[in-house]
Amino acid sequence: MSEILRVEGLSKSFKLSRKQQKIERTNRKSIVAVDNLSFTANRGEIFGLLGPNGAGKTTTLRMLATLIAPDKGDAFIEDSSIVSQPEQVRAKIGFLTSELKLEDFFTPNYLFDFFSHLYGIEPEVIAQRKAKLFERFGIDKFAEVKVANLSTGMKQKTSLVISLVHDPDFIIFDEPTNGLDVLTARTVTDYLQELREQGKTIILSTHIFSLVEKLCDRVGVIIDGRMIACGTLEEVCSGMTLEDRFFEMYKEVKGGEE
């Protein structure tokens, strides 16, 4: 399989305000969120970034989506640099995270058209793609209902659909099933598998072992901003369950600290 993503030594630190220093009970002026991270992802695979809260998963994905810039290192998506060609990168990726919200005032129909225009999609393609995606996720019945009046599940589905208006080959999902009811979560995981079958590459972050085992072809384990292990599930697990292997690695890194 050909490589679509190459991450080379990505690092990111955040300054701590006095308030944050108090909360964290530390005197450190900054915190390292991602530390010299390198990995690759191949076309048509689902790559999972597994780690506990605060491990640096979301920061990594936000850097890949060009929402924040790395302090050091670079990443290339289909040879476009996230540092020097952010607009090209954004045109190639779909990014979905719970921090991205849709304007409550508008309808799914309006938002689909609006974002499609921003991606420069032709009107006839917009109509075709909208009909297909809205039907797939059952949004067609709510197409003219304002986002404010949609159920949480329907809002999530609409966000998912909006992130895919340009039919990207590379899709980034930050905690794709977080906060979803079981039915919507199932719809999303099924759709991720469909996307893989279509040859799309998906990189997702999660702390749910079962999700990685169910969906991911390859996995990278991140702890304290560093890549501890990366490979296929078999390679990473070495005959153990993913959960057992993860806690073994966690103890090695943290020295027994929980």
Partner 1 sequence: MKSNTLTIIKKEFARFFGDRQLLFTAVIMPGLIIYLVYSLMGSGIQKMVTEGANDVVTLRVENMPASMAPMIKAIDSSMVIVDQPFDDAEIKLLEDKELNLVLLRFPADFDQRIVQHQDSVPKPLPNVEIYYNSTNNAASRVYLMLNTMLNNYGRPFTVNVPQQEGQRFDQASDESIGAMIWSKILPMVIIMMLFSGVMAIAPSAIAGEKERGTIATLLVTPMRRNELALGKIISLSCIALLSGISSFIGIALSLPKMIQQPESMPEGIHTDVPGDIFGFHYGTSDYLVLLLVIFASVLIMASAVSLLSALAKDVKSAGTMVVPFMLVVMVAGLMPMFQNSVSENLAVYLIPFFNSIEVMTAVFAHNLKWMPVIITLAANVAYAGVAVWVLTRMFNSEKIMFSK
**Where on the chain is the footprint of partner 1 (CB under 8 A)?**
65-69, 87-88, 90-91, 93, 95, 99-106, 110, 114-115, 117-120, 162
Residue 175 CB, shortest distance to partner 1, in Å, is: 15
Residue 15 CB, shortest distance to partner 1, in Å, is: 9
Where are the strands (E) in 145-253, listed by range? 170-174, 201-206, 218-223, 226-232
Structure-block tokens of residue 75: 């990443």
Residue 65 CB, shortest distance to partner 1, in Å, is: 5
Task: Report the alpha-carbon distance of residue 63 to residue 59 in Å, rounded.
Answer: 6
Nearest CA to 5 out of 202, 255, 177 is that of 202
Between 136 and 146, whose beta carbon lies closer to partner 1? 146
Between 105 and 247, whose beta carbon lies closer to partner 1? 105
Between 111 and 195, whose beta carbon lies closer to partner 1? 111
Question: b/e string for 180-209 if b means 16 or more Cβ within 10 A?
Answer: beeebbebbbebbeebbeeebbbbbbbbbb
Residue 143 CB, shortest distance to partner 1, in Å, is: 16
Nearest CA to 253 out of 236, 229, 228 is that of 228
Q: Which helix (H) or strand (E) holds 38?
A: strand 30-42
Residue 230 CB, shortest distance to partner 1, in Å, is: 25
8 Å CB contact between 16 and 28 = yes
Between 81 and 88, whose beta carbon lies closer to partner 1? 88
Between 114 and 209, whose beta carbon lies closer to partner 1? 114
Phi-psi region of 68 (alpha: psi -120 to 50; beta: other; left: phi over 0): beta
Between 119 and 209, whose beta carbon lies closer to partner 1? 119
Residue 152 CB, shortest distance to partner 1, in Å, is: 15
What does the DSSP 8-state code read for residue 149? G
